[in-house]
Amino acid sequence: MHTDLGPVTALYPSLTTIVGAHCGGRPNFLAVAHLGVLNHGQPQYLCIGLNQAHHTNAGILENRQFSVCVPGEDLLAETDYVGLVSGKTTDKSGLFELFYGHLPAAPLIRRCPVNMECRLHERIVLGVHDIFIGELVATHADPAVLTGGKIDFAKVRPLLFDMPLKKYRGLGPVLGDCWSAGKALKRKETE
């Protein structure tokens, strides 16, 4: 028998990201692991869930722009730090070397191998969270993490967020090919 844990979200591990925005005229960053891929067509949309207590929310609403940066394992301490302290009391703007793409209020982090810049499409208030839906404007990747022009997560070495055990985990080995490994079962079904 499975144990009924009650309404415990079990959608982990998830990707740990650093979200950036301009708050009161200066860049601010926070750790965000509650995020999702939405319309995987054109335009592409993604969403992030930010507790309304955070400093960053007002900056996203003010400028209608934000970044979603993917740190590698080497940025574990910095990622945790921006998830521990608030821009309300601590200036986090000098922590990273920054660059900008198309959007002047979506700060991108040089040391993050992958950075996405988003235009705010919509904010949905859900309980104590703001769900920010961003339209993806551009994705910037360090050539060192590309294989055949595509982002290779084995090279990114992302931090995976394990909420139940409060741990950062690393990526494991490749286990199979998507849209391919199930073909044997599909054949069996149609036999």
The residues that touch ligand FMN, with contacts defined as CB under 6 A, are 16, 28, 30-34, 49-51, 54-56, 80, 83-88, 161
What are the beta bridge partners of residue 65? 119
55 or 140, CB closer to ligand FMN? 55
28 or 115, CB closer to ligand FMN? 28
CB of 158 to ligand FMN, least distance (A): 12
CB of 35 to ligand FMN, least distance (A): 7
Instruction: Measure the CA–CA gap between 135 and 37, rounded to whole angstroms.
Output: 11
80 or 142, CB closer to ligand FMN? 80
50 or 70, CB closer to ligand FMN? 50
Instruction: Measure the CA–CA gap between 20 and 117, rounded to whole angstroms.
Output: 9
* Per-residue burial over 59-79, b = 16 or more CB atoms within 10 Å of its CB, e = otherwise: bbeebbbbbbbbbbeebeebb
Identify which of 26, 7, 40 has the alpha carbon closest to the alpha carbon of residue 95.
Answer: 26
76 or 151, CB closer to ligand FMN? 76
CB of 189 to ligand FMN, least distance (A): 39
Residue 152: how many other CB atoms lie within 10 Å: 14
The answer to whether the peptide bond before residue 27 is cis (omega within 30 degrees of 0) is no
CB of 153 to ligand FMN, least distance (A): 18
CB of 100 to ligand FMN, least distance (A): 20
